[in-house]
Amino acid sequence: MKVLRRDGSIYEGSFEEKEVREAFWHTSAHVLAQAVKRLYPDTKCAIGPAISNGFYYDFDFGVPFSEEQLKDVEKEMGKIIGEALPLEVCERERQEAAAFMAERKEPYKVELILALPEGETVSFYRQGDYEESCAGPHIDNTCRIGAFRLLSLAGAYWRGDEKNKMLTRIYGVSFPEASGLAQYLHMLEEAKKRDHRKLGKELGLFTIMEEGPGFPFFLPKGLALKNLLIGYWRKLHEREGYQEIATPMMLDRRLWEISGHWEHYRDKMYTTAIDNREFAIKPMNCPGGMLVYKMEPRSYKELPLRLGELGVVHRHEQLHGLMRVRCLTQDDAHIFMTEGQVVEEIQKVVRLIGQVYSRFGFSYHVELSTRPEDSIGTQEEWELATGALERAIREMGIPYMVNEGDGAFYGPKLDFHLKDSIGRTWQCGTIQLDFQLPRRFEASYVGADGEKHRPIMIHRTVFGSIERFMGILIEHYAGRFPVWLSPVQVMVLPVSEKSLAYAGEVTEKLKSQNIRAELDQREEKLGYKIREAQLLKVPYMLVLGEKEQEKQTLSVRARDAEEGKQDLGEMALPDFVQMVERKETGFFGYKAL
């Protein structure tokens, strides 16, 4: 597929490439705008970018616009695509560009153009009777859009400012082939079924209350799941030579000024005053880790020093269940090292992240995020850090994409985007290389030459945050967690009160073997109890009646078919315990580490 860049050059690539995909969706947004202008000529166009999954366009219709009207817009878009309109690009001087859009009565475009520096040129893309100011790039012809769908409407303030006018945002998605659209729509349906907020409530995992927006309450089963992830994390990091620390949740404002967070992250921080001193509730763990490093003189013989922390941090974020919370447990680690250790340490973290994701059945891709506009440090330091990350990942033979300008304010990073069971990607793990904080905090170590040197620092996470990773796992497994990860592994179901005592004995014996078992002793019919256990997605149900009590056996039902069947028949308790333990070790199991 051909991509037309702002300078008029053509790049040819596949839809799987980020630049091509974004250009494809950007052009689809322009087709949407062209269709709207044909049907509703008085409408004012605002912005229409490509996003992570498709595109949107913001319009000022001036009159009510409803979802029923989307069908008419889709029909007009189909006509535009069928016209096979080639895209052309040209440039105009800033004032000429503003006058051009003003003549077409597009005030939002004029505002954007006039916000550019004096003397700036503005690129315009034209397709048939439609032309607008746009940085591009775009695909070369509207006919490349093989299938599309307008998905929804939403309100959006102009420039995201609630003081501005509310616009109508139309979301859509498009693909070169009809099969791509069909697959995507299937994924959306699956995503609705797997919504972690819905399943979290049904499975009794967590809740978020009005009294604490963005601050999750973990219920017993949810806390069991969270603790399993934490236990796994601790075992892995102990094996990999990390020392776990815990730093305070609230620290003096001056610390955050030194680190740079006060200047670059202040709008997301919570603050308070105590004894006439201003404190910040930590949004990050790194300044606390830096203070721990500086507590005593360090020698090169101690490096690399790997400090891990399951730190609870608070950030004022937009909210979405567990995916976007304001209180989260970040599985942080900070590695202090010499320059000669940098590449090897990066590679060790890459391998650790890969091992964790494979345990859960995730594949992943890597993006190298480079220096943002809002950053600290010299260009030379950024080039050194970026080069080290590139070298480390290249030597491992792992492909990566470059995400320009998306690094942390203190350094470039490798971001790990995992793919779940229905094809969605989530950015979780990260490796950030930092020359700045050690300098700002005047951290040092004594080298082999007896002189003081500045350590280099890695910030890294594997899960990203425990809460968000839980949300991803709930949707990845649709709540049907593997045996090792299930908050309740076995539900014990007595047939009647006569077998209740035996069922209680079995439950206690299972617990003594570290199997998470629950006894359903409600006075309900057996069929009802089985259905309830199935709704809770418990991996195993043990049906215990007088026959099982007499023979001291278990009637075992599996949630998932094993050896082609769900009813596994009668089994002795030791054999059942051994089967569950095999499941734990085979998929995950601390024994397998």
pLDDT of the residue at 397: 96
DSSP symbol at 322: B
Q: Using an 8 Å Cβ cutoff, are 217 and 207 in contact?
A: yes
Helix (H, G, I), strand (E, B) or coil at 220: helix
- Which entry of 58, 138, 282, 286 is annotated as an active-site residue? 286
Over the stretch 471-489, which tens digit does the pLDDT of each residue have?
999 999 999 999 999 999 9
Q: Is the peptide bond before 372 cis (omega within 30 degrees of 0)?
A: no
Q: Is the peptide bond before 455 cis (omega within 30 degrees of 0)?
A: no
Total number of residues shown for the chain? 593
Is 266 one of the catalytic residues?
no
pLDDT of the residue at 585: 58
- Which entry of 58, 60, 332, 415 is annotated as an active-site residue? 332
pLDDT of the residue at 362: 95
Instruction: Compute the distance between CA of residue 216 and CA of residue 201 in angstroms, rounded to an integer.
Output: 12
Instruction: Compute the distance between CA of residue 396 and CA of residue 391 in angstroms, rounded to an integer.
Output: 9
- Which entry of 330, 432, 489, 549 is annotated as an active-site residue? 330
The structure tokens listed for 541 are 């149900």
Is the whole-model pTM more than 0.85?
yes
**51 forms bridges with which residues in the sheet?**
54
- Which entry of 26, 169, 226, 315 is annotated as an active-site residue? 315
Q: Using 50 as the pLDDT threshold, list the residues of the chain that sit under it.
A: 586-593
**Strands 250-252 and 517-519: what pairing?**
unpaired
The structure tokens listed for 30 are 């322009």
Q: Is 179 left (phi over 0), alpha (psi -120 to 50) or beta?
A: alpha
Is 413 one of the catalytic residues?
yes
Is 286 one of the catalytic residues?
yes
Is 480 one of the catalytic residues?
no
pLDDT of the residue at 545: 95
Q: Using an 8 Å Cβ cutoff, are 335 and 411 in contact?
A: no
Helix (H, G, I), strand (E, B) or coil at 63: coil
- Which entry of 334, 371, 453, 516 is annotated as an active-site residue? 334
DSSP symbol at 210: T
Q: Using an 8 Å Cβ cutoff, are 249 and 281 in contact?
A: yes
Is 459 one of the catalytic residues?
yes
In which residue are the tokens 């799941």 written?
225
Question: Which phi and psi (to 5°) does residue 383 adopt?
Answer: -65, -40
In which residue are the tokens 């300078």 written?
7
Is 428 one of the catalytic residues?
no
**Strands 243-244 and 305-314: what pairing?**
parallel
Three-state SS string across 233-271, please?
HHHHHHHCCCEECCCCCEEEHHHHHHHCHHHHCHHHCEE
pLDDT of the residue at 551: 95
Instruction: Compute the distance between CA of residue 570 and CA of residue 551 in angstroms, rounded to an integer.
Output: 10
Over the stretch 8-27, which tens digit does the pLDDT of each residue have?
999 999 998 989 999 999 99
- Which entry of 459, 460, 468, 557 is annotated as an active-site residue? 459
Describe the crossing of helices 220-239 and 466-476 by its angle, rounded to 10 degrees: 110
Closest CA to 461 of 411, 424, 485, 427: 427
Helix (H, G, I), strand (E, B) or coil at 88: strand
Structural element, H or E, at residue 466: helix 466-476
Q: Is the peptide bond before 304 cis (omega within 30 degrees of 0)?
A: yes
* Identity of residue 495: V
pLDDT of the residue at 563: 67
Closest CA to 100 of 90, 110, 115, 112: 110
Q: Using an 8 Å Cβ cutoff, are 49 and 55 in contact?
A: yes
- Report the greatest alpha carbon distance in the chain: 93
- Which entry of 44, 144, 359, 413 is annotated as an active-site residue? 413
The structure tokens listed for 48 are 């229409």
Q: Please count the helices (runs of H) and the strands (runs of E) in the chain.
A: 18, 31
- CB-count exposure of residue 111 (10 Å: 0-12, 13-18, 19+): middle
Instruction: Compute the distance between CA of residue 306 and CA of residue 303 in angstroms, rounded to an integer.
Output: 8
